Every structure is written in structure tokens, then in C-alpha cells.
Amino acid sequence: MKWWRKSAEQNNDLGQCSLGVCYAEGKGVPQDYTEAVKWFRRAAEQNNALAQFSLGGCYDKGCGVPQDYAEAVEWYRKAANQCNDYAQYNLGHCYANGKA
């Protein structure tokens, strides 16, 4: 956590995404989806595909943010366009289930 936080605070997208995962899963810190979303968003805005996928998941499930399928689809699409296979699957799932 110490090194991921230092990395994240220096605007490193990998550190930001890793920190977001720790908060989402409660690893090394108390689980806090609001904090996870903050770090996922910072990394996602730097085109980190895993963070975009994770942020889409937060919107899809309403974890740390109000549930918003349109926002979820937007983030899944950004990650899918970078060949993130999980995002491609979730995007397809959104279309198949009328969320997109």
C-alpha cells in the first residue's frame, strides 16, 4: 500500500489503479468503494484500460457511485476499445440485457 499510494499520488496510472483495487477489495485498507472510484477515475482518465473496466463495473453495480448503466457502458466501451477482454464481455452483456 505504501508504494502504490506514493506512485498514485505522483499521478502514475498503474499505482492509481492498484490503489483502487485495494480499496474495492479491502486489501490492506478497509473496503471503501467511494475511495476506489476516486482512484479508478484518475487512472481511467489516463486511458488505463483496467481502471476503465473497473470504473464501469462500479457504475454497473452502483458501488461507490449511483448505479448508472449509460456511464458503465461508456467506461466499458473505452476499455473494450483497448482490447480489454473483460470489458468486451461486460459490454456485450450490457447490450444483451438492454442496459446499452
Write down the pTM of the prediction. 0.94
Q: What is the CATH number of the domain that holds 27?
A: 1.25.40.10
**For all residues of the chain together, what is the average pLDDT?**
97
Q: Given a cut of 90, is residue 1 above it in pLDDT?
A: no
Which three cell numbers, joined as nine digits, stand for 81?
476499445
Q: What is the mean pLDDT of residues 36-49?
A: 98
> According to the 3-state scheme, what is the secondary structure of the chain?
CHHHHHHHHCCCHHHHHHHHHHHHHCCCCCCCHHHHHHHHHHHHCCCCHHHHHHHHHHHHHCCCCCCCHHHHHHHHHHHHCCCCHHHHHHHHHHHHCCCC
Q: Given a cut of 90, is residue 100 above it in pLDDT?
A: no
For the chain, the domain total comes to 1
Its domain, for residue 62, covers 2-96
Q: What is the mean pLDDT of residues 62-74?
A: 98
**Rounded Cα–Cα distance for residues 57 and 63 (Å):** 8
Residue 69 corresponds to which amino acid? Y
